[in-house]
Amino acid sequence: MPPYPNRDFQQFSGNYYEPLSFRAVLQRLVFWFANSITKWSFIVSTHREELLCLLHDAYRWEHGVAGLLMAFLERHPDCGQLSAEIEAFLAQTLEHQRLLAECLARIEDRTQIQQPQGADFWPSQYQADPSMEDAHRGLAHVHTCKIQEIELYPSMIVAAESGGFFETRFVCEGIQAENASMAASLEALTSSCDRPAPAG
């Protein structure tokens, strides 16, 4: 048998393999290339759909957390340093929401993103209550939401990387780091609300 190691470019004739014609080789190369493109397009499309789903979830979480922070500030308008920190968290959350909306618009080739409903996040059962117990509940709720949102980002980053959406991956990595810092600060604030006030 002649030394043709790659049988993709050989045809069987009798008891041995002989080289294919140039036209046959070209046809096989075109078929292989088209098949590879189809498989790659399917993979990219799969990662794109997964990424869009995760981005919509993260956007919805940010929208809900923003509502919780606004509600907290309305119930506790005179908390001094605590109010200032919550306002900073709110500004950061709104910025995250804007960045995620830009990612969604860029991938979906749209100019506007539909605002999600906040009913799943905003605790309508809460009424005006300036007590520290209420503040503790509010902070704990925001912290829980942040932790659940953070869990989305590793999968989101992998999907963005695999699909070739590198700008979105960069944005997600930045939001993930800032959310982790915010969650740690919220946990510390929640713990401080647990401490009894010093005796007067």
**pLDDT tens for residues 103-123?**
999 888 765 555 555 444 444
Does pTM surpass 0.85?
Answer: no
Any idea how long the chain is?
200
How far is the C-alpha of 117 from the C-alpha of 64, rounded, in Å? 8
The token duo for 168 is 């979105």
CATH of the domain at 121: 1.20.1260.10
Residue 11: phi, psi to the nearest 5? -125, 145
Which positions of the chain have pLDDT values less than 50?
1, 4, 7-14, 16-17, 39-43, 118-126, 198-200
Domain tally, the chain:
1
Cα 17–chain centre separation: 53
For residue range 132-160, what is the model confidence (pLDDT) as tens digits? 777 788 889 899 999 999 999 999 999 99
Tell me, yes or no, whether 181 lies in a domain: yes
Nearest to 104 by CA among 119, 93, 115: 115
pLDDT at 23: 64
Tell me, yes or no, whether 59 lies in a domain: yes
Q: Which domain holds residue 71?
A: 46-194
